[in-house]
Amino acid sequence: MDVPLIAVTGRRRSAAGLHSGPPALDALVLDAYFTGYAEHVVAAGGLPLHVPGGVDPAAVMDRADALVLTGGNDVAPARYGAVADARTSSLEPERDAFEIALLAAARERGRPVLAICRGLQLVNVADGGTLHLHLEEHAHTREHDVEIVPGSVLGGLYGASARVNSLHHQGVDRVADGLAVTARAPDGLVEGLESEGLVAVQWHPEQQEDAPRPVFRWLVDAVRSPGHRTTS
């Protein structure tokens, strides 16, 4: 069987401090994502395709078999009728627009989607939901349990609960129509969302060294299920 081609989004950053060349390179821009995303796509049996900003989303999803929306900075509050404040982290409105277009292209083609952290928040906003601008109790790295809804995709992957990490300071406020909440933190914060062909988690499974990462296996298996094709 062909290896599924999995599109993985990233972010744009200044090259300053990230190269060993002459200072002139500081003016250049990098497209990058944390290696863990690609490593776990490979471990699950997929072939990661890094998607730089500015390419045609439709062309990407014509060729890719699935999509991973990765973590990053805050989704622009203006997209859900809110106003940024001093705690809002560096906004990337171009990335917001690009990834929303990728999400739409993936759905139009029936491609499975895995959305992680910012990715979950972006999906909710793209579908008409809103976010909490700042959650102090979640604004640092820690571990906690999540309760998972029986019968959901996440429930089939993790069981009734899972130990996860927390590296975010925003979260879902009003859930968009069409998205089902399938996991919550002890304080009630949404930690999992699902719709047909889409699984979104608020935590970072690619950073959990000592925990299983079945969501990546779900993504690859979803490509290979009846009704999906591989392009690689």
pLDDT in tens, 133-154: 888 766 666 788 999 999 999 9
**Domain for residue 231, yes or no?**
no
**Domain for residue 27, yes or no?**
yes
Catalytic residue among 92, 99, 117, 194: 117
Cα(184)–Cα(186) distance, integer angstroms: 7
Dig out the tokens for 178 from the structure. Answer: 């069409």
**Domain for residue 209, yes or no?**
yes
Cα(157)–Cα(148) distance, integer angstroms: 10
- The answer to whether 92 is a known catalytic residue is no
Q: What is the pLDDT of residue 144?
A: 86
**Domain for residue 133, yes or no?**
yes
- The answer to whether 206 is a known catalytic residue is yes
In the chain, how many domains are there?
A: 1
**Domain for residue 230, yes or no?**
no
Average pLDDT over residues 21-39: 75
**Domain for residue 82, yes or no?**
yes
Q: How confident is residue 54, by pLDDT bands cut at 50, 70 and 90?
A: confident
> For 27-31, 113-117, 145-149, 159-163, which range has the lowest pLDDT when averaged over its residues?
27-31
Cα(22)–Cα(42) distance, integer angstroms: 34
Coil, strand, or helix at residue 106?
helix
**Domain for residue 205, yes or no?**
yes
Catalytic residue among 92, 99, 191, 206: 206
Q: What is the pLDDT of residue 232?
A: 43
Q: What is the pLDDT of residue 2?
A: 85
Catalytic residue among 138, 168, 169, 204: 204
- The answer to whether 117 is a known catalytic residue is yes
For residue 16, what is the domain's CATH number?
Answer: 3.40.50.880
Q: Which amino acid is at 155?
A: G
Residue span of the structural domain in which 97 resides: 5-224
